[in-house]
Amino acid sequence: MILIVGGAGYIGSEINKELNEAGFQTVVFDSLVSGHKEATKWGEFVQGDLNNLEDIRGVFKKYKIEAVFDFAAFIEVGESVKDPQKYYFNNLVNTLNLLKVMKEFEVNKIIFSSTAATFGEPKYTPIDEVHPQWPINPYGWTKLMIERVFADYDVAYGLRYVALRYFNACGANDEADIGEDHAQESHLIPLILDAAIGKRENIKIFGTDYPTPDGTCVRDYIHVVDLASAHLLALKHLMDGGESKQYNLGNGKGFSVREVIDAVKKVTEKEFTVLEVERRPGDPPILIASSEKIRKELGWSPKYTEIEEIVATAWKWHQKKDDK
Ligand code: UFG
């Protein structure tokens, strides 16, 4: 049985679906603070909170867990600056709780959602795994601290982990049965789609004077289905007895905010107002991943590399979500 902590969220639910399709048995453990029960229709489901050791022990007692995926974290960079305590308790302390129970039950394999935010301001691009890690916000620090904890637990207790550092996760699967649905949305693609569908009056471009070809920030948009395939390869790696690893996950191509807006206009054939406003604090001009390491070592390669294709899958889901 594979345990998916935070499996009711955007990325966790996609991995749960794909694990089931690949023949694995899964149990999702989620507090439903931000996840959606209807996104957990594959495998078993247990509602519980990582701040409660007995909740976690309950799952390990009930099921014979072979490996764990951990997607349970708060992810809003801006909120983490305003309320770091919320982030350090949930993302750091609660993950320590999970590791404690894994150790009690002698489960030593974990695949962890880490982030490009562990790198902070890029010193060079594309960002590879040896790029220095010095986060510029509490969110990034919580994830980097856990990466450090894993490294120490590996040496001391034989924990084997794969930390996957996502760049800008986006898109939805072909069936568009689950997808991105945050109560407080701050991510670019769903916000532009909200403008296209008429739920927002406009989309604001945060800064047009960056040192980039069109003056707007460039990001590496990685499709959730490509993230899922990387997770399955990481699981196989650990199940085959592989050692602990860290991998950056991006599609290797950067797209500017203007390019993403143009792609949405083309795909949706909708017009909407685009406003140019001040920079948002803390945004580096360019974030592009080098994913050479996971390509070489695990044979991963992304299916979705063109922004219009990516946006089209997100649009399909976005319209469905709003019909619900
Ligand atoms: N943007 C706008 N207008 C908006 C929203 C975003 O112009 O209304 C811009 C941002 O300024 C940024 C780009 O669009 O340049 C992408 O912004 P997102 O908020 O979608 O994503 P980020 O690149 O800020 O954040 C992502 C992940 C974080 C992670 C971070 C790593 O979502 O979890 O990359 O730096 F921490």
- For residue 259, pLDDT over 80 is answered with yes
Q: Which pTM was predicted? A: 0.96
Residue 271's nearest CA partner among 189, 196, 191, 205 is 196
Same domain, 105 and 195: no
Q: Could you give the percent of the chain with pLDDT greater than 70? A: 99
Q: Whose CA is nearest to atom 14 of ligand 1?
A: 188
Q: Whose CA is nearest to atom 31 of ligand 1?
A: 117
Residue 243: how many other CB atoms lie within 10 Å: 10
Tell me whether residue 247 is one of the annotated catalytic residues: no
Same domain, 152 and 257: no
Q: Which domain holds residue 266?
A: 188-220+252-323
Candidate of 71, 76, 77, 125 to mutate for ligand 1, largest count of ligand atoms within 8 Å of Cβ:
77
From the CA of 77, give the closest atom in ligand 1: 36
Q: Whose CA is nearest to atom 21 of ligand 1?
A: 187
Q: How far apart are CA 1 and CA 26, in angstroms?
A: 5
Residue 175 falls inside a structural domain:
no
CA of 113 to the centre of ligand 1 (A): 17
Q: Within 6 Å (CB) of ligand 1, which residues are found? A: 75, 77, 115-117, 139, 168, 186-188, 191, 203-206, 217, 219, 257, 280, 283, 287
Residue 177 falls inside a structural domain:
no
pLDDT tens by residue, 137-184: 999 999 999 999 999 999 999 999 999 999 999 999 999 899 998 888
The 8-class DSSP code of residue 93 comes to I
**In 201-288, at which residue ranges do the beta strands (DSSP E only) sit?**
202-206, 218-219, 221-223, 245-249, 255-256, 273-277, 286-287
Residue 183 falls inside a structural domain:
no
Residue 10 falls inside a structural domain:
yes
Residue 199 falls inside a structural domain:
yes
The 8-class DSSP code of residue 279 comes to P
Same domain, 140 and 10: yes
Q: How far apart are CA 225 and CA 227, in angstroms?
A: 5
Residue 324 has what pLDDT?
Answer: 59
Cis peptide before 122 (omega within 30 of 0): no
Q: Which contiguous run of DSSP H or E holds residue 68?
A: strand 67-70
Same domain, 287 and 229: no
Residue 11: how many other CB atoms lie within 10 Å: 21
Residue 176 has what pLDDT?
Answer: 86
- For residue 224, pLDDT over 90 is answered with yes
Residue 28 falls inside a structural domain:
yes
Same domain, 164 and 206: no
**In 207-288, at which residue ranges do the beta strands (DSSP E only) sit?**
218-219, 221-223, 245-249, 255-256, 273-277, 286-287
CA of 204 to the centre of ligand 1 (A): 12
Task: Give the chain's largest Cα–Cα span.
Answer: 57
- Quick one: average pLDDT of 294-316? 97
Residue 273 falls inside a structural domain:
yes
Q: Could you give the percent of the chain with pLDDT greater than 90? A: 93
Residue 110's nearest CA partner among 62, 76, 146 is 146
CA of 22 to the centre of ligand 1 (A): 32
Candidate of 80, 134, 182, 206 to mutate for ligand 1, largest count of ligand atoms within 8 Å of Cβ:
206
For residues 202 and 275, the answer to whether their CB atoms sit within 8 Å is yes
Same domain, 30 and 149: yes
Same domain, 161 and 97: yes
For residues 108 and 234, the answer to whether their CB atoms sit within 8 Å is no
Number of domains in the chain: 2
Q: Whose CA is nearest to atom 4 of ligand 1?
A: 188
Q: Is 36 left (phi over 0), alpha (psi -120 to 50) or beta?
A: beta
Which residue has better confidence, 275 or 185?
275
Residue 180 falls inside a structural domain:
no
Same domain, 137 and 159: yes
Same domain, 243 and 203: no
Same domain, 163 and 276: no
pLDDT tens by residue, 262-275: 999 999 999 999 99
From 197, 230, 249, give the residue that closes a domain: 249
Q: How far apart are CA 161 and CA 95, in angstroms?
A: 13
For residues 166 and 217, the answer to whether their CB atoms sit within 8 Å is no
From the CA of 279, give the closest atom in ligand 1: 11
From the CA of 191, give the closest atom in ligand 1: 8
Same domain, 239 and 265: no
Among 10, 87, 139, 210, the active-site one is: 139
pLDDT tens by residue, 84-128: 999 999 999 999 999 999 999 999 999 999 999 999 999 999 999
Residue 321 has what pLDDT?
Answer: 83
Same domain, 151 and 57: yes
Domain holding 205: CATH number?
3.90.25.10
